[in-house]
Amino acid sequence: MLSRAFLCAIGMLLLQVERTASAPETARAFLATTFGMTTEDLARIDAGQVVARTLSAHESREVGTLGIVRIRATPDFYVERLTDIANFKRDEAVVQIGAFNNPPHINDVAGLSLEAWDVDKLRECRVNDCGLQLSADSIGRFSKEMDWRRSDVEQQATRLMRQILVEYVTGYRERGTTTAMQYVDQGRPLVLGDEFSAIVEADAGTWQHFPDLRRHLLGYPKDTPGTTDILYWSKERVSRRLVINVTHLAIARTMSSPAAYAIASKQIYSSHYFDASLGLTVLVPDPTEPASMYVVYLNRSRVDIFKGMFGGIARRLVTTRARTLVSELLTKLQRRMEADFVRRSSQAVSDHQGMLARTSI
């Protein structure tokens, strides 16, 4: 007669086999049901290609893009690299970048500088008529605190912009979205907090899979266990402009879906073009390989250039370019991440062999 322990062991083994057999299908089913991937899409992704598409817009200024790629690396490795945000975003389009400490300090933005074009626009900047996206208070400070007759106006303006961003991020860390900037550069005030909430609702079906991260973003700075927050600034080339952005990155472990992590990138300031932007990156382990994952990137941005006679043309151009850009960025990410992971794995093997050699002496 078989012992109870033996039967339990057989049962556990069968359960493990069942889970292993169904896990790949669960991951692919998640991509299919949540992000609309077809069998053909999944075949392309598994072959190493990027699948990118434009999402339906819920507002006239909105551009939505989805991209998915398979990367031979682990989700933990991806997150480890992401927390070093300056190196993670290293790219020819990223001219300057840095992370904010908690609390933020003026030294955090020591590497940020304003372009001469932006300084010229700030010289003429007034509420409802400004070449940069700013709040009424910030516009007032550039009017009152700057001595535009001096020869070092670019250095003055840069120092003031650094101070404004540090104070803004300090307030955001303390009170969250309630301190979101209100742009008054072009007539109708635009409240970033309202824009952000509307973008989240546009993808309510996707966000329901990550309720903790959604709650964290809406309730920040309330602490959410298992979530890491990084705030950083960057100056990046967008079209013909160098655009200053401030971004809140929230990295959350997930427990209620096949994904290992869900990562939000919430833009809380942009000097040009973007009224609001929210990205969601989802890392889904691929059980067919021990060190492989699907990286899903979804972004919705509201852009301020779709007005006037040529607004429709601008929308088509920006939408097409956004889809191409997501595909290019995911391809670069795939190559860099896989190369870094191979180097890390090779180093780990070498270190282990060295340790064994030392202990055998």
Rounded to whole angstroms, the Cα distance separating 240 from 343 reads 36
Contact in structure between 273 and 241 (CB atoms under 8 Å): yes
Mean local confidence (pLDDT), 184-213: 92
Domains plus CATH for the chain?
12-352 (3.30.530.20)
Q: Is the dihedral of CA 189, 191, 192, 198 positive or negative?
A: negative
Name the more confident of 310 and 88: 88
Mean local confidence (pLDDT), 66-89: 97
Beta strands in 39-149 (DSSP E): 51-55, 62-71, 94-99
Q: Determine the pLDDT at residue 125.
A: 97
Rounded to whole angstroms, the Cα distance separating 305 from 241 reads 13
Using omega within 30 degrees of 0 as the cis cutoff, is the peptide bond preceding 221 cis? yes
Q: Which residue has the tokens 């492989």?
A: 292
Contact in structure between 230 and 85 (CB atoms under 8 Å): yes
- Band (pLDDT 50/70/90 cuts) for residue 4 is very low
> Phi and psi for 196 in degrees, rounded to 5?
-60, -45
- Band (pLDDT 50/70/90 cuts) for residue 278 is very high
Mean local confidence (pLDDT), 176-184: 93
Q: To the nearest whole number, what is the mean pLDDT of the chain?
A: 89
The two beta strands, 261-270 and 274-285, are: antiparallel
Q: Which of 50-54, 79-83, 228-232, 302-306 has the lowest mean pLDDT?
A: 302-306
In this prediction the pTM is: 0.89
Going from the C-alpha of 32 to that of each of 39, 43, 50, 56, 206, the distances in angstroms are 8, 12, 15, 17, 12
Q: Determine the pLDDT at residue 280.
A: 98
Widest pairwise Cα distance in the chain: 98
Contact in structure between 244 and 233 (CB atoms under 8 Å): yes
Q: Determine the pLDDT at residue 12.
A: 43
- Band (pLDDT 50/70/90 cuts) for residue 309 is very low
Rounded to whole angstroms, the Cα distance separating 208 from 31 reads 14
The two beta strands, 293-303 and 261-270, are: unpaired
Beta strands in 211-254 (DSSP E): 227-238, 241-253
Query: Given a cut of 70, is residue 64 above it in pLDDT?
Result: yes
Burial letters 282-294, b for 16+ CB under 10 A, else e: bbbbbbeeebbbb
Q: What is the pLDDT of residues 121-149, one digit of tens each?
A: 999 999 999 999 999 999 999 999 999 99
Mean local confidence (pLDDT), 234-256: 94
Of the candidates 141, 127, 96, the residue with the CA atom closest to the CA atom of residue 114: 96
- CA 311 remoteness from chain centre: 27
First to last CA, the chain: 50
For residue 5, what are its two tokens? 């322990």
Q: Determine the pLDDT at residue 94.
A: 97
Q: Which of 22-26, 46-50, 95-99, 306-310 has the lowest mean pLDDT?
A: 306-310
For residue 260, what are its two tokens? 């290992």
The two beta strands, 261-270 and 241-253, are: antiparallel
Q: Determine the pLDDT at residue 351.
A: 59
Mean local confidence (pLDDT), 339-343: 96
Q: Which of 12-16, 146-150, 304-308, 356-360 has the lowest mean pLDDT?
A: 12-16
Counting Cα atoms < 13 Å in the Cβ hemisphere of 69 gives: 22
Q: Determine the pLDDT at residue 21.
A: 38
Q: Determine the pLDDT at residue 353.
A: 55
SS3 state of residue 247: strand
Mean local confidence (pLDDT), 194-210: 93
Q: Which helix (H) or strand (E) holds 267?
A: strand 261-270
